[in-house]
Amino acid sequence: MKTNTFSIQNRSQKWDNLKFILIFLVVLGHVADRFADVSYATGCLRFIIYSFHMPAFIFVSGLFGKKNIDEKRWNNLASYLVLYLIIHSLIFISRWAANGTKPAFKLFSTSGAAWYILALFFFSIITMLTKNAKPSALIIFWIILACIAGYDNSIGDFLCLSRVIAYYPFYYLGYILNPKEVEVFFEKRKWQLRIISAILLAAGIIIAAVFYDSIKDIKFIFTGRNSYSVIKPNCPYAFTFRLICYAVSAVMTFCVISLTPSKTPFGHLSRWGAKSLQVYAVHYPLMVLLLKFVSEKYNLPAYFVSKLPLYEILIAVLITAVCLLPFWGTALEKAKGCLRETLIKSPHS
């Protein structure tokens, strides 16, 4: 799936480094989600990760999704749907294997990691249809729409509609910006911005840690899939929850981009970051199976009860490392090819 604006020879290490940082946080966030209710530290960790990791990931997707949209690369866009079906099926199989009972299979309704791939398809289509609109007006429109949508409990996981509406401003902002110009902006003011970003990031972490019990429910709005009623039913001013989340996500994303190095020793992060989509595709089903194994058969969390975040980080590192193996990239490409052929042939069979 080709979504980059530049050829592989001209790839910027900064953006691939950022993608690796974000994909690791995606894995860690999903692992932490399993234990957030039993550990204050884990709850804080999850809250901090969820406050920006997907908005930042979607922003980067918009930065490098221009050619698919501007050149109307329908094959690449169709690949999103094929990959969505593969991930959705893998999650279904992993949950069935882990729980021993067959879960409901809802093709167009997903609460698992597959939603992001389906959302990329819709983000691309929406941008194609509105690319001639005034950017500032379009961003304001989607922010207002997201604020209104939060009052409707029926907007949820079906076609990941809630997340599409909530996260689209980040995708479109990435789309209208030039990756090279954004990188130059951060490089020209590197140390000033890094100092400011480090202070803001540290302040955000401290606030989350100190006031977690008071603000933890905002996490449900950060996910993009919930209505305001999960925090405060029938609240006329609940749209402020969304606006607060937008502001926090934007600031945190800015800080993380600023602090992401343009180069790393031996370039390992950038090579791993180039495989971020591969990691995203297979990490969730692997996590479901691994946590079932280590949590129930060996009860490893009990050994880390006072240091649960350390356990979660170790599990996330292991899952990420396994997902980076070349095997998965090859397997995914073969699976996508087979599924495409099946879908093309099925109408004639």
List, in order, residues 6 or more apart from 63 with CB less than 8 Å away: 5, 15, 174, 175, 177, 179, 182
Does 231 map to a domain?
yes
The reported pLDDT for the residue numbered 10 is 57
Q: Domain for residue 254, yes or no?
A: yes
Place of tokens 């789309």: 175
Q: For the segment 305-318, what is each residue's pLDDT rounded down to a tens digit?
A: 667 788 889 899 99
- Number of structural domains found in the chain: 1
The per-residue b/e assignment along 123-160, b for 16 or more CB within 10 angstroms, e otherwise, is bbebbeebeeeeeeebbeebbeebbebbeeeebbbebb
Contact 47, 212 (CB under 8 A): yes
Q: Is residue 172 part of a domain?
A: yes
Range of the domain at 56: 8-348
Report pLDDT for 4: 40
Q: What would the pLDDT profile of 103-129 be if each residue is shown by its tens digit?
A: 888 888 877 789 999 999 999 999 999
Q: State pLDDT tens for residues 175-199.
A: 999 999 999 999 998 999 999 999 9
Given this model, what pLDDT does residue 303 score? 62
CA 25 vs CA 46, 95, 172, 262: distances in Å = 9, 22, 22, 19
At 200 the pLDDT is 97
- Specify if 3 maps to a domain: no
Give residue 114's identity as a one-letter amino acid code. Answer: A
What's the confidence (pLDDT) of residue 9?
Answer: 47
Which of the residues in the chain have pLDDT under 50?
Answer: 1-9, 348-349
Q: What pTM did the predictor assign?
A: 0.90
Tell me how many degrees the CA angle 122-76-158 measures, rounded to the nearest 5.
25
